[in-house]
Amino acid sequence: MEEKRVKIIKEGGVAHLVIESPATLNALDNLLIEQLLDVVDSVEKDNEIVVLIISGSGKAFVAGADIKAMSKMDPNEAAQFGMKGATLFRKIEQLPQPVIAAINGYALGGGCELALACDIRIASSKAKMGQPEVTLGITPGFSATVRLPKVVGVAKAKELIYTGKVIGSQEALEIGLLNEVVEPEELLNRAREIAAAIAKNSPVAVRFSKEAINIGGSLSIDDAIRLENNYFSLSFAYSDQREGMEAFIEKREANFKIG
């Protein structure tokens, strides 16, 4: 029987995905990636989940990919492994729900790439982040060369990837890799606070906003403006728009429908 390494807890409109392989610092291997793909697919189909939090158990968020397993791969096996991880992270990036990475410890290589696929990244003051693949004689394999430049800028991304430098959470915050840094004991509560602040808003409007940002980023400015206008006008076809505006006029809390 396969060891279950992923747990998901749902409370209200917020789901918490926990990677539970602390003996390997939650290192990504084929089995863990496959289990994560299954859970992410279930989250995508669950209309009652408005926000997803991802965290790791033990001392790491995800310390990286499984180096012992990779050391035995040939180029074809490496290509399949890299594409499997990249597919997982693309699915996370494209989830209709906002995703919050709660980074408690090491987020290196594949762990940093997982965080990059999330919408919001908060970390413990003890977290360590980086893309040290070149120190192992390989390039990043799970899309760091694609996402990291968009988050921290091309020059800083090249510096981090070329040097393999591992940085602390404060430096990660300063370069825009993180949204926020908190003390370790506050991390999950803070992630839940952010998730709750998102979940109380219109699920339709939040999802449309995420799609407009993600898709619009690869379009020309004029096309991105038209895309936003499409989502803006489409939101008026949903009951959330009427509820939200009526609540504002009536000076009460909006009661948006989940699911």
State the catalytic residues: 113, 133
- In degrees and rounded to multiples of 5, residue 219 shows phi and psi of -105, 170
Q: How far apart are CA 46 and CA 39, in angstroms?
A: 11
Burial of residue 109 (number of CB atoms within 10 Å: 0-12, 13-18, 19+): buried
Closest CA to 113 of 124, 134, 97, 129: 129
Q: How far apart are CA 25 and CA 228, in angstroms?
A: 41
Q: Which residues of 158-176 are buried (b: 16+ CB within 10 A; e: fewer)?
A: eebbeeeebbbbeebbebe
Q: Hey, what are 255's tokens? A: 């009661």
Closest CA to 177 of 158, 161, 157: 157
